[in-house]
């Protein structure tokens, strides 16, 4: 076997590293393109509604009289969902309390205090987030 000369070794190294760079650039662009579409989810129901109505008007081509009816349908749907949530809230609260009780059964007294504090902090953060929406 003959030893490879320096030129061919350099060429192989350039090809290997160059292909790695090329794959990295393509992968980065694909990742950026895929995440850009999910970049701006609606932050509130009013924002969702605004985008929905804009899509119906701009993309679907709904006329003004159809937009009035679509608004009525959206309002009716929101009322139905709110009613459903109100009916299910007691069951949801019961399940949540069972969850909390089961977790607390596993914890020692110090951990229970820490768990209660942690839950209270999470609840405050949740309420603060709802205020900003």
3-state SS record for 2-60: CCCCHHHHHHHHHHHHHHHHHHHHHHHHHHHHHHHHCCCCCCCHHHHHHHHHHHHHHHH
Residue in the block written with tokens 């607390």: 104
Cα–Cα dist 35/92, whole Å: 33
Q: What string of H, E and C letters represents the secondary structure of 117-133? A: HHHHHHHHHHHHHHHHC
Mean pLDDT, the chain, rounded, equals 86
Residue tagged 């929905």 (tokens): 52
CA atoms within 13 A on the CB side of 94: 5
Looking at the predicted structure, is the pLDDT value of residue 37 above 60? no
pLDDT of residue 35: 62
Residues making up the chain, counted from first to last: 133
Confidence (pTM): 0.51
Distance CA 7, CA 15 (A): 12
Over residues 65-81, the pLDDT tens digits come to: 999 999 999 999 999 99
For 3-19, write each residue's pLDDT tens digit: 668 888 888 888 888 88
């Amino acid at each position: 076997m003959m030893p490879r000369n320096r030129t061919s070794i350099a060429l192989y190294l350039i090809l290997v590293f160059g292909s790695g760079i090329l794959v990295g650039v393509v992968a980065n662009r694909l990742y950026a393109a895929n995440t850009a579409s999910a970049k701006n989810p609606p932050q509130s129901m009013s924002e969702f509604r605004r985008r929905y109505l804009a899509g119906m008007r701009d993309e679907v081509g709904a006329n003004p009289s159809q937009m009035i009816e679509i608004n009525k349908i959206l309002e009716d749907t929101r009322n139905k969902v709110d009613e459903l949530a109100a009916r299910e809230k007691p069951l949801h609260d019961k399940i949540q309390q069972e969850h909390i009780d089961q977790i607390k059964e596993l914890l020692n007294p110090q951990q229970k205090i820490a768990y209660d504090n942690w839950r209270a902090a999470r609840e405050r953060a949740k309420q603060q987030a709802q205020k900003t929406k």
